[in-house]
Chains A and B, each alone.
Chain A
Amino acid sequence: MSALEVRSLSVSLSGRQILRDVSVTVSQGGWLGVIGPNGAGKTTLLRAIAGLVRSSGDVLFDDVSASTLRPRERARRVAIVAQRPELPAAMTVADYTLLGRTPHISYLDTETRSDLDAAAEALDRLGVGEFADRTLGTLSGGEQQRVVLARALAQAAPLLLLDEGTNALDVGSQQQVLELVSELRAQDGLTVLSAMHDLTLASQYADTVALLGGGRVVAAGAPEDVIREDVIASYYGADVRVMHTDDGIVVHPVRRRAVRARSETRR
């Protein structure tokens, strides 16, 4: 059974088609890395899955069509970590994490003991329990990212969408966050779909990747089948070397010969 199935999804935003006929599936407990150049439609794909933009086609969570779900029910099945989440500076970490419980609290009600426990557990598992009383504005970028993840974890949805949540972080924090997601995935059987910029990290953490180009899926499969020098060259317009090491694929950019030659003659 697939935890997430996207069937010929198309999205148009103000008259411009962003996604065309996109189909992807992620099995229960799997991690799909969505890669592609800027503007390829990665963020829009995540937003469409979360129901935040109007789309045609179908999205199924555990074989249940999203079109049959009410917003609250959908939010109990899928949590999204936005690319630049809104972090009200004066809000405490505890209050922020508790907001993740919103889909489990009926409209005009307030949190129960079990909501508080779920939020506390999420903070604890992400190692930010000690920050509970601090305000979001006083946290570092890495700490904020973990708190945002804690809110998503408190939401207790079996599918987690991560939108390049790591690209503003230093390499250590970035790795920590991905490791945490990887752990949660192993422990809870969480299904992950993440939009990623760093191809090396994508190949290390995702078990399948889908490459978006111009709003379509142009390649999908195991990381080593998709992340190839010729593919990256044609869709990213980048010259890279892809090295297969014991630790997985390493993608590193190389300076273009033509450009280098020109700048050398000028010198």
Chain B
Amino acid sequence: MAVAEARERLSAIPLRPARLRVGWVTLGVACLLGAGLVGVFVGAVPISPVESLRKLLGFLPFVGPSHLSAQHEAILMQLRLPRVVLAALVGGTLSISGAAYQGAFRNPLADPYLLGAAAGAGLGATFVIAYTSAGAGSGLMPVAAFAGALLAVALAYVVGRAGGAGRTATALVLAGIAVASFLTAVQTYLQQRRSETLREVYGWILGRMSTVGWHDVLLALPYVAVGAGVILAHRRLLDVLALGDEEAESLGLRARRIRLIVVVAASLSTAAVVAVSGLIGFVGLIVPHIVRLIAGNSYRVILPLSLFFGGAFLILCDLIGRTIISPAELPIGVVTAFFGAPFFALVLRTSRRMP
């Protein structure tokens, strides 16, 4: 009797924990698919959207054969589609990694480059461009950028642990800043010594999505899949970390170990996308905040939605970058900031949530 009464009373309490609502997932997927289709349909060469769609959906039953010319089909399948998929992959990865960094360091200003991944990748790329005969287009570039990014983060971790006895997240952030500054100095030195490669180095640093075929997508995909999977698995634990290390530990967690796992996963996937796309600023910092402002503050919501919205955002930025001054291309890093910053300001103004 008393139990039934208690049950009745309990059900009256509106206990609605933060969950990823179906509506948000639907919207995220719709945005990603919508942006992807626009990205595939629009380009320098006009290709019939209907025929393109027929080609893309050719695997489905009852979809008639596509009437695209061989040339158009090649543009669609080997240029536009891989480029759109790469943009989605890079945008989604930078966004979810940025959100993971923000959660792990409890710092809203954190982005995936916080621990020096960008500076390390930049140094690796500059080295290849300036000191090898291979040049920017070679297969050596992603390897060098990937290695540089991971080395930088590892170095920041070692320095941070030595400095702050590994205790505080702040020590780690400061170590990251020091490592990034140092590596940037080395990179600038190398670049100045070979000033004839300046333009090429800058082209890489501002980021680009130009790709032919599926090579870059396949190169980054395994790291991104593992990294994003590990980050997503820690979504609830990142909410616990919001209470600070000590309270998280009083709830039975090992806060520093969780931070290490999340940061390693985010750094690994960031390094993989930096290796194939160069340095694209702003996305990893701003997309998680836009998600936070419109959809809620729990990492269960922020992490998966950052993946979708970050992907959609970068597809659109790439579309603008390659069409606005066609046939030339505007570096995508310029587009992300130029359109992203005003949009963020708008969301900030109209949102009633705290950032």
Contact = CB atoms under 8 A, between A and B. Distances in A.
A and B co-occur in one complex: yes
B252 A120 contact: no
A132 B16 contact: yes
B246 interface: yes
A178 interface: no
Given A71-B253, A102-B253, A94 B16 contact: yes
B45 interface: no
A100 B251 contact: yes
A221 interface: no
A137 interface: yes
B289 to A, nearest CB: 12
Contacts of B237: 107-108
Contacts of B10: 117, 120-121, 124
A73 B300 CA distance: 25
Nearest to A92: B18
A168 interface: no
Instruction: Give chain B's interface secondary structure class.
Output: loop
Contacts of B250: 50-52, 75, 79-80, 82
Contacts of B254: 71
Interface residues of B, number: 33
B21 to A, nearest CB: 14
A98 B18 CA distance: 10
A155 interface: yes
A103 interface: yes
Interface in B209-253: 233-234, 236-237, 239-240, 242-244, 246-253
Given A99-B240, A120-B10, A94 B15 contact: yes
A26 B301 CA distance: 43
B243 A99 contact: yes
Interface string A161-183: 00000000000000000000000
Given A86-B243, A110-B236, A98 B251 contact: no
B14 interface: yes
Interface residues of A, number: 47
Contact of A102 (B12, B251, B354): B251
Contact of A75 (B236, B242, B251): B251
B9 interface: yes
Interface string B5-46: 010011011111110000000000000000000000000000
B252 A71 contact: yes
B184 interface: no
B242 A88 contact: yes
Interface in B316-355: 353-354
B17 A98 contact: yes
A132 B18 contact: no
Nearest to B298: A95
A124 B13 contact: yes
Given A111-B17, A120-B10, A124-B13, A155 B251 contact: yes
A103 B17 contact: no
Nearest to A117: B10
B233 A82 contact: no
B14 to A, nearest CB: 5
A155 B204 CA distance: 51
B197 interface: no
A120 B251 contact: no
Contacts of A88: 242-243, 297
A76 B243 CA distance: 18
Contacts of A52: 246, 249-250
Interface in B248-292: 248-254
B66 to A, nearest CB: 44
Nearest to B10: A120
A146 interface: no
A119 B15 contact: yes
Nearest to B248: A102
Interface in A106-122: 107-111, 116-117, 119-121
A89 interface: yes
A133 B354 contact: no
A74 B250 CA distance: 8
B233 A108 contact: yes
Contact of B247 (A72, A85, A119): A85
Contacts of A133: 14, 16
Interface centre among B233, B244, B250, B251 (most CB of A within 10 A): B250
Contacts of A124: 9-10, 13
A129 interface: yes
B354 A90 contact: yes
Given A86-B243, A91-B242, A129-B13, A99 B251 contact: yes
Nearest to A96: B243
Given A117-B10, A124-B10, A95 B246 contact: no
Contacts of A99: 239-240, 243, 251
Given A52-B246, A80-B250, 4 more contacts: A82-B250, A89-B354, A102-B240, A133-B16
10 contacts: A47-B246, A52-B249, A82-B247, A90-B297, A91-B242, A94-B14, A94-B15, A94-B17, A108-B237, A129-B12
Interface of A: 47, 50-52, 70-76, 79-80, 82, 85-86, 88-92, 94-95, 98-100, 102-103, 105, 107-111, 116-117, 119-121, 123-124, 129-130, 132-133, 137, 155
